[in-house]
């Protein structure tokens, strides 16, 4: 669910530090309509309680609310008035995944009166190690329904609204306008720019979090007189190749849990008016080192095309602005688009490869990262990792591959009907790059597995895990 922008240093010239900026991706599966945005005031349980027997001072809390939230109400730095403001506030959480789960649960628990949850996905089994608002029993159910169920089970006195088409351009301005605070818990660059633009145009603070691998980040955009927006820091979109997603790079489950909890904290501070929001500061979390670092961010840029002095993006033009073109990336985490680098004759299907593996000898070279190879691989495969980001690193394997092709050709014999070596990867893109690289270096008699090991898991008929 993330990607790392190499251009992060642009945002941090003042400090000399160069933290990476993390973005996210997500799969979209739902086309259900969103529920219309309610602008009614917050409904709370027990508002009709008789108040004749007691009296609070300058707050609207009911007796039940006083009991429920007592442990934070008694805090001198919080108190009944802050709780009252929280109960009358509204927060929109965009993304009900690894970040959005703790945000939704903590905000529900804390008593934010109206919670909006926007997402398009259904819960999958591989979400459960980090997306703690969901359960085994809700796998296959829309994430809005699943997270809504969890929030209501924590606090039935709050109002939960669901936006099952996610936060898209058609409803961006309406949604951003009718919540007090917006939380970006998404995982891709197009969504981050859209959410930031809508928050600027609607005049709403944006709590932005990101987590990938073992790293996390947090800041508040568009807050205060000089707080920057996302575009102020990143007027140019990151190169799609410079970013990686959680489905490719992985994420340690507790990392988005920590960042999401911090996002909930920032949202509570903004909604209750307590504390100092993390504006113009970027919090960096290194999970392996157990280290939090804060770096100062530049202030709002007069040249920014959305929050600057001569904005070019308006509420009207936002509708037709192409965020996918601007970022060169899709607003979902469906994985990279299938590459068509090789001719069909240079590729084999999973079914064909299965026949070769079972009836004849074929040498299989698996070019996935070692961590993925160790999950599962076709028996007898050799692991020679290839990275699109560092293709030159594979050069050291080319002579080995030349030898492998020579040896395999001897094993399979001159009358073999298939090439001696098959290159496989996860999805069938890197394997094409490797075959292309080998052919360019004069290593022929090599094919790749079309669709990679995902196709192998689906189509070969053998038991193989999909991850």
Would the CA dihedral through 65, 67, 72, 74 be positive or negative? positive
User: Minimum CB separation from Zn ion for residue 197, in Å?
Assistant: 9
- Burial-class residue 291 by CB neighbours within 10 Å (0-12, 13-18, 19+): exposed
Report whether 13 belongs to an annotated binding site: no
The answer on whether 296 is annotated among ligand-binding residues is no
Is residue 195 close enough to count as binding Zn ion by CB under 5 A?
Answer: no
215 annotated as ligand-binding: no
Helix, strand or coil, per DSSP, at residue 237: coil
Shortest Cβ 21–Zn ion spacing (Å):
15
Q: What's the closest the beta carbon of residue 300 comes to Zn ion, in angstroms? A: 6
Closest CA to 24 of 309, 306, 334: 334
Q: Is 425 a catalytic residue?
A: yes
297 binds Zn ion, rule: CB under 5 A: no
CB 181 within 8 A of CB 91: yes
- Report if residue 198 touches Zn ion, rule: CB under 5 A: no
Minimum CB distance to Zn ion, residue 267 (Å): 21
Whether residue 114 is annotated as binding a ligand: the answer is no
**232 binds Zn ion per the rule CB under 5 A:** yes
User: Between residues 221 and 285, which has the closer beta carbon with respect to Zn ion?
Assistant: 221
- Token pair, residue 268, equals 């509570």
Is 231 among the residues that bind Zn ion (CB under 5 A)?
Answer: yes
Please say which residue, 313 or 450, places its beta carbon nearer to Zn ion.
313
- Asked if 229 interacts with Zn ion (CB under 5 A), we say yes
Rounded CA-CA distance 445/186 in Å is 44
> Which sign, positive or negative, has the C-alpha torsion 431, 432, 433, 437?
positive
11 binds Zn ion (CB under 5 A): no
CA distance 438 to 445: 10
Total of chain residues touching Zn ion, rule CB under 5 A: 5
Rounded to a whole number of angstroms, the minimum distance from the CB of residue 5 to Zn ion is 16
Question: How far apart are alpha carbons 123 and 169 in whole angstroms?
Answer: 23
SS3 label, residue 403: helix
Contacts of 272 (CB under 8 A, 6+ apart): 78, 82, 83, 85, 86, 89
Residue nearest to Zn ion (CB): 304
Distance, CA of 243 to CA of 25 (rounded, Å): 10
The SS3 assignment for 286 reads strand
Residue from the set 132, 307, 424, 455 that interacts with Zn ion by CB under 5 A: 307
Stretch that binds Zn ion, among 296-304, 318-326, 404-412, 425-433 (CB under 5 A): 296-304
Choose the binding region for Zn ion from 22-30, 140-148, 225-233, 316-324 (rule: CB under 5 A): 225-233
Does 143 count as an annotated binding residue? yes
Binding-site ranges for Zn ion (CB under 5 A): 229, 231-232, 304, 307
| Binding positions for Zn(2+) | 229, 232, 304, 307
| Binding positions for ATP | 98, 119, 126-130, 143, 187-188
Catalytic residue annotation:
246, 425
């Amino acid at each position: 669910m993330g990607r790392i922008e190499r251009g992060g240093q642009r945002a941090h010239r003042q400090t000399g530090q160069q933290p990476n900026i993390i973005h996210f991706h997500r799969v979209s599966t739902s086309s259900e309509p969103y529920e219309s945005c309610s602008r009614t005031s917050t409904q709370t349980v027990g508002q009709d309680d008789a108040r004749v027997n007691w009296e609070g001072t300058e707050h609207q809390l009911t007796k039940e609310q006083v009991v429920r939230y007592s442990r934070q109400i008694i805090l001198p730095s919080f108190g009944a008035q802050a709780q009252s403001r929280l109960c009358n506030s509204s927060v929109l959480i965009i993304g009900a995944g690894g970040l959005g789960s703790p945000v939704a649960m903590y905000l529900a628990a804390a008593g934010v009166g109206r919670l909006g949850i926007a997402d398009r996905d259904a819960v999958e089994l591989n979400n459960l190690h980090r997306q703690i608002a969901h359960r085994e029993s809700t796998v296959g159910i829309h994430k809005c329904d699943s997270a809504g169920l969890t929030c209501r089970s924590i606090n039935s006195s709050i109002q939960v609204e669901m936006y099952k088409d996610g936060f898209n351009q058609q409803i961006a301005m309406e949604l951003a306008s009718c919540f007090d605070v917006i939380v970006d818990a998404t995982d891709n660059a197009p969504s981050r720019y859209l959410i930031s633009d809508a928050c600027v145009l609607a005049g709403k603070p944006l709590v932005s979090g990101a987590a990938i691998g073992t790293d996390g980040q947090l800041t508040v955009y568009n807050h205060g007189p000089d707080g920057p927006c996302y575009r102020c820091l990143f007027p140019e979109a990151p190169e799609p190749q410079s970013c990686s997603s959680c489905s490719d790079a992985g994420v340690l489950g507790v990392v988005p849990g920590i960042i999401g909890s911090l996002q909930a904290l920032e949202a509570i501070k903004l909604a209750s008016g307590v504390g100092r929001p993390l504006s113009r500061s970027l919090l960096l979390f290194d999970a392996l080192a157990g280290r939090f670092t804060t770096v100062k961010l530049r202030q709002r840029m007069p040249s920014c095309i959305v929050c600057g002095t001569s904005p070019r993006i308006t509420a009207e033009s936002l509708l037709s602005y192409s965020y996918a073109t601007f970022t060169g990336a899709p607003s979902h985490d469906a994985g990279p688009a299938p590459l068509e680098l090789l001719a069909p004759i240079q590729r084999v299907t999973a079914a064909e490869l299965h026949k070769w593996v079972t009836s004849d000898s074929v040498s299989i070279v698996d070019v996935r990262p070692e961590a993925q190879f160790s999950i599962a691989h076709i028996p007898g495969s050799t692991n020679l990792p290839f990275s699109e980001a560092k293709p030159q690193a594979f050069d050291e394997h080319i002579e080995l591959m030349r030898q492998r092709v020579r040896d395999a050709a001897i094993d399979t014999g001159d009358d073999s009907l298939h090439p001696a070596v098959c290159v496989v990867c996860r999805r069938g893109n890197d394997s094409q790059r490797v075959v292309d690289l080998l052919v360019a270096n004069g290593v022929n008699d090599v094919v790749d597995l079309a669709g990679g090991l995902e196709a192998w898991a689906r189509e070969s008929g053998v038991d193989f895990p999909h991850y």
